[in-house]
């Protein structure tokens, strides 16, 4: 996403990530990766829950994480195992979701090029929406 950010901005849009991680963990990710977009914290998945995106990670994956030294409570503020599905929304200037990508497999994300294509279409005079 970082690489696509200049094109996204040139199309009059902003990029914001929302993460279930605690604020300090997201800040480390942003710093370590020199991210130039905001990462908002949705600790407790309150916003993800309103979008119907929350699922509970199977216990076997939580146990696997522990074996690799991943402390879920340390990153997410609780050990409930609740996580949001991978979701990307393109929202127009009036607050309407004009494109949504949701996948239960967290490794499948909307490609940055696809986001740019949606924004380019939104910026066409006959699209009826603006980025």
Which residues, 6 or more positions from 93, have their beta carbon under 8 angstroms from its beta carbon?
129, 130, 131
CB distance 64 to 72 below 8 Å = no
For the record, the structure tokens of 21 come out as 């991680």
- Which domains are delineated in the chain? 5-120 (3.40.30.10)
Element spanning 87, H or E: strand 86-91
23 pLDDT higher than 60: yes
118 pLDDT higher than 60: yes
pLDDT in tens, 64-114: 878 888 777 788 888 888 889 999 999 999 999 999 999 988 889 999 999
CA 6, 94, 86, 36: dihedral to nearest 10 degrees? 30
Q: What is the pLDDT, as a whole number, of residue 128?
A: 57
Long-range contacts of 53-60 (CB under 8 A, 24+ apart): 53/84, 53/85, 53/87, 53/102, 54/82, 54/83, 54/84, 54/85, 55/82, 55/83, 55/84, 55/85, 55/104, 56/80, 56/81, 56/82, 56/83, 57/81, 57/82, 57/83
Between residues 67 and 19, the one the model is more confident about:
19
């Amino acid at each position: 996403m970082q690489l696509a950010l200049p094109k996204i901005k040139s199309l009059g849009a902003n990029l914001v990530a929302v993460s279930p991680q605690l604020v300090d963990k997201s800040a480390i990710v942003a710093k370590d990766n020199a991210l130039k977009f905001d990462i908002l914290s949705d600790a407790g998945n309150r916003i993800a829950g309103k979008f119907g995106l929350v699922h509970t990670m199977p216990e076997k994956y939580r146990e696997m994480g522990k074996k690799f030294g991943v402390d879920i409570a340390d990153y997410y503020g609780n050990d409930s195992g609740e996580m949001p599905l991978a979701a990307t929304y393109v929202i127009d200037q009036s607050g309407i979701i004009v494109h949504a990508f949701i996948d239960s497999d967290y490794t499948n994300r909307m490609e940055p090029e696809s986001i740019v294509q949606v924004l380019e279409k939104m910026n066409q005079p006959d699209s009826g929406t603006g980025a």
